[in-house]
Amino acid sequence: MSKINKAKTAGIVVETLATVLSISLIIFFLLYLADANFSEAIRGFIKSSIGGRKNAYLFTTFSKMALITGMAIAALIAFRAGLFNIGGEGQLVVGGLVSAFVGLSVADFGLLGIFLALASGMAAGAVWALLSGFLTIYMGVPLLVGSLLLNYPARYISSYLVSHPLRDVNSGLPQTFLLPKSVWLPYFQGTRLDVGIILIFLVYLFILVISQKTKYGYYSKSMGISFSFAKISGLQTKKIVFQTLALSGAIAGLVGSIAVLGIHHRFTDGMLVQPLYAWTGIIAALMVNLNVWSIPLAGFFFAAISTGAAGMERIAQVPKEIATIIQAIIILFVVGKLGSLGGASIPSGDSDHD
């Protein structure tokens, strides 16, 4: 190893240590503000992210990991094609709402009912994402703001539907009726972990294959590197944009369906928005620099932070929002190491519009 390499390695080690130290200092400062007992808080964090009686909390982390990883894949598939779909939240909500509604009406169909509910959730998510693609391609609205603005109609329309027409009037909350057991996603034996995580794993494998091994994967990646180059080399960019957004939206919709059919068994107002699944997914995808292979790791990491924080709240009375702060700080500290997303440079590529 040459001297220069050694110096470089030493530099990286020092930098990593400095980052870890700064993040820890910030966390301690926040704990101090909340007037918490440090050792209690940290023990609570570790125990509730990966421990618990019969590993119950570990399974909670796994079920959160499924949702966050799913949203991270949805973000990643769009980002690697240069499409800033930050409307994952809307697509997630629409998917969850539609599959709750379909789930209620197909209760007698058994396994087919589950399949129908999942498929309709995916379709709804895809339609919501395609809507933002339509605004971009045919109306010239930047995808970044177009997809984001569509989050709000999704949120308010779903809130209206579950507060009035679809509301379970016997419950005190704005939520739909409880789904019949026949359309619940089955649990793994002896746990409260549903098979949604397997569905997400299948999606992960699917995305691995299509991003590394298919023509579509290659084309969409080259579109992400340079839109104008992809265009002048004769790629059908319009088609790729719609395919990618449909795929991204469908995955987000599937995550919503899994949350409804596997975890909550009904759609409650704000249940998919408040835990910030979509935004956590986006920063998980960004943290691994859009590397498909390492997505589940990032998903597990962020899920563990959020269940750990919930445990800290139970045990040491530290507000669980500390999870959001920690996630934001981590992404800030790694952001300088990531490549540029090229967001500011993309907006002037020529379109297919003739």
Partner 1 sequence: MIENFLDPEFFSSIARLTTPILLAALGGLICHRAGVFNIALEGFILLGAFMAVLGSYLGDSAFWGALSAILGGIFLAIVFSEFHLRRRGDPIVVSIAINLLGLGLSTYLLRSIFDVSGVFSHPNIHKLATINWPLLDSFWLLDLIFNDQSILFYIAILSTIAFHYFLKYHKIGLWIRVAGENQEALRSSGSNPVQVKFFALLICGIFCGLAGAQLSISNVGLFVENMSAGRGWIAVVVVLLCAGRPIPLFFLIILFGVVDSLSLRIQGLGLPQQITEMMPYIVSILVLVFVSFRRFRFSSKTHL
Interacting residue ranges for partner 1, rule: CB under 8 A: 30, 33-35, 82-84, 86, 135-137, 139-146, 148-150, 152-153, 156-157, 159-160, 163-164, 227, 241, 276, 279, 282-283, 286, 318-319, 321-325, 327-329, 331-333, 335-336, 338-341, 343-344, 346-354
Q: Could you tell me the smallest distance in angstroms from the CB atom of residue 274 to partner 1?
A: 9
Whole-number CA gyration radius for the chain:
21
Closest CA to 207 of 136, 285, 147: 285
CB 102 to partner 1: min, Å: 22
Q: Among all chains, which residue has been given the structure tokens 């790729």? A: 240
* Closer of 46 and 331 to partner 1 (Cβ): 331
Place of tokens 């009037």: 169
Q: Count the alpha carbons within 13 Å of 133 in the hemisphere toward its beta carbon.
A: 25
| Minimum distance of partner 1 from residue 320's CB (angstroms) | 9
Q: Shortest approach of partner 1 to residue 249 CB, angstroms? A: 16
Instruction: Using alpha carbons, select from 297, 322, 298, 328 the residue that is nearest to residue 310.
Output: 322
C-beta of 191 vs 324, nearer to partner 1: 324
Tell me the β-bridge partners of 268: 175
Determine contact, residues 285/297, Cβ cutoff 8 Å. no
Nearer to partner 1, 111 or 332 (CB): 332
Q: Which is nearer to partner 1, 113 or 133 (CB)?
A: 133
Residue 62: closest CA among 157, 70, 154, 243? 70
Report whether 197 contacts 282 (CB < 8 A): no
Decide whether 182 or 226 has the Cβ nearer to partner 1.
Answer: 226
CA atoms of 56 and 60, how far apart (whole Å): 6
Query: Is 34 in a helix, a strand, or coil?
Result: coil
> To the nearest whole angstrom, how small is the minimum distance from the Cβ of residue 218 to partner 1?
19
CB closer to partner 1, 105 vs 289: 289
Instruction: Tell the smallest beta-carbon distance from residue 180 to partner 1 (Å).
Output: 27
